[in-house]
Structures are given as C-alpha cells and as structure tokens.
Amino acid sequence: MPLLFVKGDITKIKADAIVNAANNSLLGGGGVDGAIHRAAGPELLAECRTLHGCETGEAKITGGYRLPCKYVIHTVGPVYRGGNHGEPELLRSCYVKSLELAAENQCESVAFPAISTGVYGYPKEEAAEIAASAAREFLETHEMTVLFVYYNGAETSGRRELSEYIRKHWYEPSKYNMYTVREETAEPEAVAEEAEDAKPPVQDSLSAEKRREKEARKGVTGLFKKRKLTFESEAAGSDAAVCNRVSERRDAYAGAAASCQAMQAAASKPMGAHPDFRGMLDESFSQMLLRKIDESGMTDSECYHRANIDRKLFSKIRSDALYRPSKPTAIAFAVALQLPPAEAEEMLKKAGYAFSQSSLFDVIIRFFIERQEYDILKINEELFRYDQPLLGA
Ligand code: AR6
C-alpha cells in the first residue's frame, strides 16, 4: 500500500505494471510513450493496434513484452488548456482508471510517469497534487505499491519557504570549517594558548637565552598547532564523520537530559505515595504509539495508511513492545498522528532518536511539523527533491 517516489527511467522499473502517457491513437509517440515502445519492442505496437485507440481520461492494458514489467497500462492525459476545460477531472481519471485496471489484473505494484506534464503541458505542481490525492484515495482500500517515477526530478517545483527555512536552519556539514569544528572540540588549554599567541611580542624585555627558549617553544607549539589544524581540516573534509560526531553528541545529551528529567520527576514524588512502580518505567515507542492512536480516535489502519506504512510492519511494531523503528518510520507515525512539535520529539526520543540541525532530513521534517502540516505525501515530495530518505515504507 505505500506510495513511493523514484527518480529515473520508467522503462527500467521492475513493477508488475508501468503506465504509459499515451495519445488517443495508442500508436506511439514521443516522450515517455516513445521510450516505452522502444524498450518494449514492436510486439507492443502490434497489440496496441488491436485496441482501437483510447479516450482521454481512460486506460487500456497490454503485455510488457521486452520491458521488465508484466503489463503496460496506456492512459491518455488531457492537453492543458488553462485548466478550465475539465483537465483536473480528466487527469485524475487517468490515475484512477489505471489503478483500477492494475487491481483487476492482480498487480501488486504499478509505476506512473507524471502524466500530461510533458508535451501536454500540465503544470507540474498541480499535476503532482492530483496524482498524489488520487493514489492516496485508492490506497485506502487497496493493498498495492504505487511508484511515481520522476524522470529528471523536476516534475514538481518545490516550496520556496522550505528552501529559505533550510538555508536558515540547516547546519550544513559541507559548510563546517575548522572554526566551527573547533567550537565543538576546543579544549580550554587550546583556547588559552591561542589567546596567548595573539598577544603582541614583548621581545625587547627578554634576554637572548629566554628568546631562544621562547622560539623553541613556539616551534613546538607551531608544530602542535599545525598537526591540530591538519586533523581539524581532515575532520571538516569528512562531512559525514563530523556530522555523525556532532549529532551523536547531541543525541547523547538529549538522552542524558531525558534520563535526568525522569529521575527528577521520580525523585520529586513523595516516598510511598506511588507503590505502583510500573508508572516509573519508561513507556516504549510501541506503547506510546498505541496510546496515541487510541487518544486520537483513529483506527490502527487509518494510522498506518496515513503514515505510509504497510500493514506487516505495523503488526510487527504492535506485537513487540520493544520494537525499535527506523527514524523515518518513527517520524512517519508522529506525522500520521499529527503530533505537535514537542510530542513528535518525545515520540522520536522513545525510538532512540533526536532531531539534529546538522541533518537536512531532520530540518525538512521540522519545517512541516512546526507548521503543523501533516500531509505525508507532500513531505515525501520535498524529501525526495532533496534526495533524502522518504517517510514510511
Ligand atoms: N521515464 C519516466 N518519465 C519520463 C520518461 C521516462 N523514460 N520520459 C519522459 N518522462 P510526455 P504527456 C516524463 O511528454 O505530457 C507523447 O508523444 C517527462 O519528463 O511523455 O502526457 C504521447 O504520444 C514528463 O514529465 O507525456 C502523447 O502524444 C512526463 O514523462 C504526448 O506525448 C510526461 O511527458 C503525451 O504527453
């Protein structure tokens, strides 16, 4: 049931069915249509001839021939003429009819290109919204994996506020320089030494011997510093290493702070007033998730659908109180439950994670949670645009 985004060429996708953005004749053309016919071979055209065309907004199915899929579903998107000529309904219908055909043919996975957004000129952002909402609605009642294949990754144009937010909040690892690294790692002696070095020289008052001694010391210090700088610039060069170190430390602090708070809370309770020690045990991720689902009034399936998580994974989490989900899965549930920022952070902490400013993924998620925007498909579209892991399965 998940909805996924992939970059690439749809003719290479190994799904049960791929969808072709065809024209009314179904006899091939340019764009994705041309690419599909070229990759499938002439047998596809021969079968298409037997179908006698297709109406706009409808879909027809053929074999996949030399493609790595069982079927090709041909659908004809509307030509965009300003949006007031039934284009949204027709485009939606392309997705719905194609999905229905896939289900009738027992497909477990189906891949779509961005129909009508090429030669037919449909604005990419609007087309992406229609595609996502049609697929989402369909997936509420069907178990299927739907892939949206973006050919050059530019089928949607992205949110300007998000890019501004990222610029402001992302502690971009590649921008780490030795000074920022140093802030993280500086030891008091190093700082003192630097301050000492910055003082103007007072050589006049030194004897020749003392001067020699000082020079020698400076030499050693210089050497030491050089080595230190080398180490630092190496660390700065290895973005991932620096990033990991910093976020590990932040995670550790977050963990320590949480335990501290828990201890303080436990200590502030009067002795003997709480004989039930279960209250003092930490609630696990799975327990918190189930509690939050109950509190929200959602059913389990509503929740995992909204989280873009499949039923099997949800059952695993449900039946194992100590299950430790991946960070994207934990966040997917926080988003599905529409948790405000503090609770989302708490849920993440239960799974052993914390938000970090040095992670682009985290910054994007925070952008949406702070604005209380919980549409997982929109979040995934942006994550996808920035080459980040997607939420859910
Ligand atoms: N894989 C995935 N997506 C692709 C590929 C590919 N190999 N090639 C192009 N796209 P278009 P339309 C994307 O023009 O607008 C044909 O001639 C492309 O970037 O193929 O529905 C038909 O015969 C774009 O976002 O289809 C019709 O006459 C999207 O696929 C007419 O074009 C759709 O672009 C249909 O026009």
Record: fold of 3-157: Leucine Aminopeptidase, subunit E; domain 1 (3.40.220)
27 close to ligand 1 (CB < 6 Angstrom): no
Higher pLDDT, 378 or 307: 307
Nearest atom, ligand 1, residue 28 CA: 23
Model pLDDT for residues 53-67, shown as the tens digit of each residue:
999 999 999 999 999
Model pLDDT for residues 302-337, shown as the tens digit of each residue:
999 889 888 899 999 999 999 999 999 999 999 999
Q: What is the pLDDT of residue 158?
A: 66
35 close to ligand 1 (CB < 6 Angstrom): yes
Residue 38: which of 80, 71, 17, 67 has the closest Cα? 67
Q: Looking at residues 190-208, what average pLDDT do you find? A: 44
CA of 113 to the centre of ligand 1 (A): 7
308 close to ligand 1 (CB < 6 Angstrom): no
What does DSSP assign to residue 162? H
Q: Looking at residues 192-212, what average pLDDT do you find? A: 47
12-21, 38-47, 146-155, 295-304, range with the lowest pLDDT: 146-155
Nearest atom, ligand 1, residue 115 CA: 21
Model pLDDT for residues 126-147, shown as the tens digit of each residue:
999 999 999 989 998 998 999 9
The SS3 call for residue 49 is helix
Taking 60 as the threshold, does the pLDDT of residue 193 lie above it? no
Nearest atom, ligand 1, residue 120 CA: 15
Contact call for residues 299 and 307 (beta carbons, < 8 A): no
CA of 78 to the centre of ligand 1 (A): 12
Structure tokens at 114: 């961005």
14-23, 178-187, 195-204, 365-374, range with the lowest pLDDT: 178-187
Q: Whose Cα sits closest to atom 9 in ligand 1?
A: 32
Instruction: Give the CA diameter of the chain.
Output: 103
Q: What is the pLDDT of residue 7?
A: 82
* Residue 29 to residues 25, 26, 227, 318, Cα–Cα distance (Å): 9, 8, 63, 49
57 close to ligand 1 (CB < 6 Angstrom): no
Q: What is the pLDDT of residue 388?
A: 86
Structure tokens at 304: 């995992």
Please give the span between the terminal C-alpha atoms of the chain, in angstroms, as a whole number. 9
Give the full edge-to-edge strand order of the sheet including 59-63: 3-7, 145-150, 109-112, 17-22, 71-76, 59-63
Q: Whose Cα sits closest to atom 33 in ligand 1?
A: 118
Contact call for residues 88 and 56 (beta carbons, < 8 A): no
Testing ligand 1's pocket by substitution, the residue of 38, 112, 151 carrying the most ligand atoms inside 8 A of its CB is 151
114 close to ligand 1 (CB < 6 Angstrom): yes
Domain extents for the chain?
3-157, 200-236, 239-270, 285-385
CA of 376 to the centre of ligand 1 (A): 26
d(CA 145, CA 310): 9
Cα dihedral 10, 15, 17, 18, rounded to 10, equals: -10
Q: Looking at residues 181-202, what average pLDDT do you find? A: 40
358 close to ligand 1 (CB < 6 Angstrom): no
Q: What is the pLDDT of residue 224?
A: 34
Model pLDDT for residues 143-159, shown as the tens digit of each residue:
899 999 988 755 555 67
Model pLDDT for residues 341-376, shown as the tens digit of each residue:
999 999 999 999 999 988 999 999 999 999 999 988
Higher pLDDT, 173 or 45: 45
pLDDT bucket at 301, cuts 50 / 70 / 90? very high
d(CA 72, CA 108): 14
